[in-house]
Structure 1
Amino acid sequence: MKFSSQLQSATLIKRYKRFLVDLRTNDNEEFTVHCANTGKMTGCADSGFKAYYSTSDNKKRKYPHSLELTENNLGHLICVNTGVANKVAYEAIEENRIEELAGYDEIKSEIKYGHENSRIDILLSSDGKPDCYVEVKSVTLLEQGQGYFPDAQTVRGQKHLRELIHIKKQGLRAVLLFIVMHDGIESVQAAAHIDKKYAQLLAEAKSEGVEIYAYKAQITPAEVKVIKQVSVLNT
Structure 2
Amino acid sequence: METKDLQQATLLKRYKRFLVDVEQEGKTFTIYCNNTGAMTGCAEPGFTALYSTSGNPKRKYQHTLEKTITANGHFVGVNTIKANDIVKQAIEQDLVPELKGYETLRTEVKYGEENSRIDLLLSDSNKVDCYIEIKSTTLLLDDDSGLGAFPDAKSTRGQKHLRELMTMKQQGNRSVLVFLVQHTGIKAVTAAQHIDPKYTDLIKEVLNQGVEILVLHTHITAEQTTVSHSSSFVSPEKVDFSQYS
Question: Under TM normalisation by the shorter chain, which class is it?
Answer: over 0.9
The answer to whether the 8 Å contact 1:186/1:231 transfers is no
Residue 192 (structure 2) pairs with residue 194 (structure 1): no
Partner of 1:58: 56
Alignment partner of 1:84 out of 82, 86, 95:
82
Partner of 1:210: 211
2:178 aligned counterpart, secondary structure: strand
Alignment partner of 1:28 out of 26, 33, 38:
26
Partner of 2:239: none
Q: State how 1:82-161 maps to structure 2 within 5 Å.
A: 82-144=80-142, 145-161=146-162
Deviation at residue 59 of structure 1 after TM alignment:
1.1
* CA distances 1:61-112 after superposition (whole Å, capped 9, x unpaired): 1111000011111000100111111111000111111111100010011111
Q: State how 1:178-193 maps to structure 2 within 5 Å.
A: 178-193=179-194
Distance (Å, rounded) in 2 between the aligned partners of 1:103 and 1:19: 39
1:233 aligned counterpart, secondary structure: coil
Partner of 1:9: 8
Partner of 1:68: 66
2:203 aligned counterpart, secondary structure: helix
2:41 aligned counterpart, secondary structure: coil
Distance (Å, rounded) in 1 between the aligned partners of 2:109 and 2:13: 35
Code of the residue aligned with 2:147 in structure 1: it is Q
2:185 aligned counterpart, secondary structure: coil
* CA distances 1:159-201 after superposition (whole Å, capped 9, x unpaired): 0000000000000000001110001000000000000000000
Code of the residue aligned with 1:85 in structure 2: it is A
TM-score w.r.t. the length of structure 2 is 0.94
2:60 aligned counterpart, secondary structure: coil
Deviation at residue 36 of structure 1 after TM alignment:
1.1
Partner of 2:165: 164
5+ residue gaps in structure 1? Answer: none
* CA distances 1:40-61 after superposition (whole Å, capped 9, x unpaired): 0000000010110000101111
Cα-Cα RMSD: 0.8
* CA distances 1:111-133 after superposition (whole Å, capped 9, x unpaired): 11110000000000011110100
Distance (Å, rounded) in 1 between the aligned partners of 2:222 and 2:53: 13
Distance (Å, rounded) in 1 between the aligned partners of 2:103 and 2:71: 43
Partner of 1:228: 229
Count of paired positions: 233
5+ residue gaps in structure 2? Answer: 237-245
TM-score w.r.t. the length of structure 1 is 0.98
Aligned-pair identity in percent equals 53
